[in-house]
Chain A
Amino acid sequence: MTPRKRRRLIAIAVFSPPLLWTLLFMIVPYAIMFTYSFYTRQYPTFVPDFQFGNYATIFMKEQYFQVILRTLKIATLVGFLSLMFAYPLAFFLVFKVESQKVRTILYTAVIAPLWVSYLLRAYTWKTILGSEGVLNSFLVWVGILDQPTDLFLYNQFSMVVTLTYIFIPFTVMPIYTALEKIPRNLVEASQDLGLGPVRTFIKVIFPLSLPGVLAGMTFTFCLTAGDFIAPFLVGGPDGSMVASVIQSQFGSSLNWPLGSALSMVMLAIILTIISISDRLERAGHIDLD
């Protein structure tokens, strides 16, 4: 056996399990879903077919395309809100914390919630925002409210708050990495040429951190768009999102073809956004070394 052949065999041995795994548990299910999306529903089951009725339903029926629009709106909101929190946080960590040790500790602290169960973190907000919750008790105690209100929970507001909180670490990570890669002497060169901290931020730091911003927002957007636990826990009737609708199509509504079609539409939207963001990132890509 030539060394070249041997190397190829080793490569096949190393790469085939993950490839097989991806094929079995990603590609095949998607293919099945894709096929289902053209089937016809015959309560309580469905029959193989090739028709676009399910897709037509999504775009004709108010309730379905509204939920898609709402999902995209909430995902955008969460994307921007987490950016608002994540950027200053990452900026502070990279540029204002002098000691490398302290910086690592703080960064770990920001990322640490990712190791805590998602459910637990979502529940936290239920206890904060609920009518018996921390926020209500506080407002009543201070005297701003006469009695607890349920305005905070089971609506879009509570969903956006919860999801933003949950996804902030995902936004911090790429921004932190992007900021850390900016050579310090670029900041110094800018100040040397007479630009103060604010103008230096606008002209040098922010433009060079854009790839991280884009990556962070794409992460958060996509994760939010596919979320069904937050709507379930803290979202009310007007807080339902497409993932929960899809889930119910496969569950109580027993309409797998429609659920599949909805999934395919969402998949198409998400893939489009990821590829646009990827293209933008590439276009703005600058070698920093």
Chain B
Amino acid sequence: MKNIVELRGISKTYAQTIKAVDDLSLDIATGEFITLLGPSGCGKTTTLRMIAGFEYPDKGSILLEGNDVTELPPYRRLVNTVFQDYALFPHMTVAQNVSYGLRVSGIGKAEADERVSKLLDMVGLLEKADTMPGQLSGGQRQRIALARGLSLEPRVLLLDEPMSALDVKLREQMQVELKHLHEKLGITFILVTHDQQEALVMSDRIVVMNEGRIMQIGTPTGLYDHPATPYVANFIGTSNMIDAVVEEFDATMASVSFAGNRLRVKLNGQKIRTGQKVQVSVRPEKAYLDYDDGTQGDTSAHNNFTARVTERFFYGNTLRLELDVEGEPPFLVDMPLSLALHNTQAPEQGSIVKVGVNPENINLFTGED
């Protein structure tokens, strides 16, 4: 697949000192749904604005469909933006907003009208064509902004936190709609968000950013299951981070010790040596309570250690246990409630339990990334 967007070592510094984006390189494939994910202030918006042409990089270059557009103004780029607060023109009707870019692009009135109707129909707001944006709800404005962003049939659609102003229910609904739209249109979508859930649900690939740089690029499952750094492990989902020491290792497996327990860990090509201090991470839902009753299948190759239950949190579909392992930071285990009920004895506070973890579900970080 051809790359539609290529960022080559772009940097942007504000006010001489704030490095918003720092030597960032990224290839985006045609038709891809890619998400820039990172904490507030990590440079996501700045990156998007440089692709749109609202900011110019201090260094590096930007290629669209193989052409260098680094110096081109926004009105000469085949990308469109859906703004965070929608930026609908307040003095124009919904239809005028959507047709705004069409007339200057040389499309005749009849054809423009037809396309506007089609777009409004697509976002389910045809009957609002003559309404002013000020009279629309947040979700409706969002859809109009989307329709306007798609009106010129751009090659790339940029979306800067398009759903951050919506409430949770509406946001989930829009996520699904946006995903469907992407599949239907085949346009490349670049989404910016700091909501990891949103990134996981929608993206083909996720770019995790921090302090203007890329920490890791990967598919949602790839990032979730194999975070490259403790930062990513903590940023996407929840992880139990454990300080441990390497005891022994071979090509594929390592043994580490923590708080008097031994853990066998599957290696992913990390270079380690005996006695080295490392960090290992375990997702709360990948650890389980081992009742030795065969319900977890064959667990003979798994790790086991004992812990004491200190807290229980009810999450509706899961029960989260906070465990104490020999004075280490609390270790979290998520139990699906069906399982907890099946065993009827969800462990009481203060009881001693046996925790099991599959070596494949443990990630090992050397601190040298």
Tell me the A residues contacting B by CB distance below 8 Å: 183, 185-186, 188-196, 199, 203-204, 207-208, 284, 286-288
- B100's partner among A185, A190, A286 (CB-CB below 8 A) is A190
Question: Which of B74, B90, B134 contacts A192 (CB under 8 A)?
Answer: B74
A193 with B152: CB separation less than 8 A: yes
Whether the pair A193, B85 counts as a contact (CB closer than 8 A) is no
Query: Within 8 Å CB of B148, what residues of A?
Result: 189, 193
Q: Which residues of A contact B89 (CB under 8 A)?
A: 186, 189-190, 204
CB-defined A-B contacts under 8 Å, sample of 16: A185-B83, A186-B89, A189-B88, A190-B89, A191-B53, A191-B74, A192-B80, A193-B80, A193-B148, A194-B75, A194-B105, A194-B152, A195-B104, A203-B100, A284-B91, A287-B90
The answer to whether A191 and B75 have CB atoms under 8 Å apart is yes
Report the minimal beta-carbon distance from B115 to chain A, rounded to whole angstroms. Answer: 13
Q: Are A193 and B87 in contact (CB under 8 A)?
A: no
Chain A nearest CB: distance from B283 CB in Å?
39
Query: CA A165 – CA B100 in complex, angstroms?
Result: 39
CA distance A126 to B80 in the complex (A): 56
Tally of contact residues, B, Cβ under 8 A: 24
B151, CB-defined interface residue at 8 Å: yes
CA distance A196 to B89 in the complex (A): 16
Contact B101 A194 (CB under 8 A): yes
A207 touching B91, Cβ below 8 Å: yes
Interface assignment of B350: CB less than 8 Å from any CB of chain A: no
Shortest CB distance B96–A (Å)? 10
Closest to A185 in B: B87
**A-facing residues in B143-187 (Cβ within 8 Å):** 148, 151-152
Known A195-B100, A195-B104; 6 more pairs at CB < 8 Å: A190-B100, A191-B54, A193-B100, A193-B152, A195-B75, A204-B89
Interface string of B218-259 (1 = CB under 8 A from A): 000000000000000000000000000000000000000000
Which chain B positions have C-beta within 8 A of A196?
A: 73, 75
Interface residues in chain B, defined as those with a beta carbon under 8 Å from any beta carbon in chain A: 52-54, 73-75, 79-81, 83, 85, 87-91, 100-101, 104-105, 134, 148, 151-152
Cα distance, A204 to B96, chains bound together (Å): 12
Q: Which residues of A contact B73 (CB under 8 A)?
A: 191, 196
Q: What's the least CB distance linking A16 to chain B, in Å?
A: 39
CA distance A138 to B95 in the complex (A): 58
B90 close to A189 (CB less than 8 A):
no
Note all chain A residues with C-beta closer than 8 A to B104: 193-195, 199
Contact flag A208-B75 (CB < 8 Å), given A189-B83, A192-B52, A192-B81 = no
Bound CA–CA A204/B88 (angstroms): 11
What is the bound-complex CA distance between A31 and B101, given in angstroms?
57
What's the nearest-Cβ distance from chain B to residue A71, in Å? 34
Q: Is B74 touching A188 in the complex (CB atoms < 8 A)?
A: yes
| Contact of B101 (CB < 8 Å), options: A183, A193, A207, A286 | A193
Residue pair A183, B87 in contact (C-beta under 8 Å): yes
Q: Say how far A281's CB is from chain B's closest CB, in angstroms.
A: 13
Q: For A207, what are the chain B residues with a Cβ–Cβ distance below 8 Å?
A: 91
User: A288 contacts B75, CB within 8 Å?
Assistant: no
A204 to chain B, nearest CB (A): 6
Closest 4 CB pairs of A and B: A193-B101, A185-B87, A189-B87, A191-B74
Give chain B nearest CB distance to A237 CB in angstroms.
47
Known: A193-B100, A194-B152. A188 touches B91 (CB 8 A): no
- What is the bound-complex CA distance between A285 and B89, given in angstroms? 13
Alpha-carbon distance A199/B105, docked complex (angstroms): 12
Q: How far is the CA of A144 from the CA of B296 in the complex (A)?
A: 104
Residues on B with beta carbons closer than 8 Å to the beta carbon of A194? 75, 101, 104-105, 152
- Complex Cα gap A194–B73 (Å): 10
Given contacts A199-B104, A286-B134, contact A192 B75 (CB under 8 A): yes
- The residues of A that contact B54 with a CB separation of less than 8 Å are 188, 191-192
Q: Which of A183, A190, A194, A195 has the most CB of B within 10 A?
A: A194
- Cα of A159 to Cα of B148 in the assembled complex, Å: 51
Write out the residue numbers on chain B whose beta carbons fall within 8 Å of the beta carbon of A284. Answer: 91
* Distance A208 CA – B88 CA, assembled complex (angstroms): 13
- Complex interface: chain A residues within 8 A of B79 (CB): 192
Taking CB atoms, residues of chain B closer than 8 Å to A208 are 90-91
**Contact (Cβ within 8 A) B105 A286:** no
Q: Evaluate contact between A287 and B152: CB separation under 8 angstroms.
A: no
Closest partner residue, chain B, to A204 (CB atom): B89
Q: Which residues of B contact A190 (CB under 8 A)?
A: 89, 100
Which residues of B are found within 8 Å of A288, using beta-carbon distances? 90
* Residue from B53, B74, B80, B134 whose CB has the most chain A CB atoms within 10 Å: B74
In the complex, which residue of chain B has the Cβ closest to the Cβ of A286? B90
Q: How far is the CB of A194 from chain B (nearest CB, A)?
A: 5
CA–CA, A190 and B91, complex, Å: 13
Determine if B87 and A188 form an interchain contact, defined as CB atoms under 8 angstroms apart. Answer: yes
Interface centre among A191, A193, A208 (most CB of B within 10 A): A193
Minimal Cβ-Cβ distance residue in A for B158: A192
Contacts of B75 in A (CB 8 A): 191-196
Bound complex: CA of A288 vs CA of B85, how far in Å? 12
Interfacial chain B residues near A195, Cβ < 8 Å = 75, 100-101, 104
Instruction: State whether A193 touches B83 (Cβ < 8 A).
Output: no
Contacts of A191 in B (CB 8 A): 53-54, 73-75
Chain B residues closer than 8 Å to A188, beta-carbon distance: 52, 54, 74, 81, 83, 87
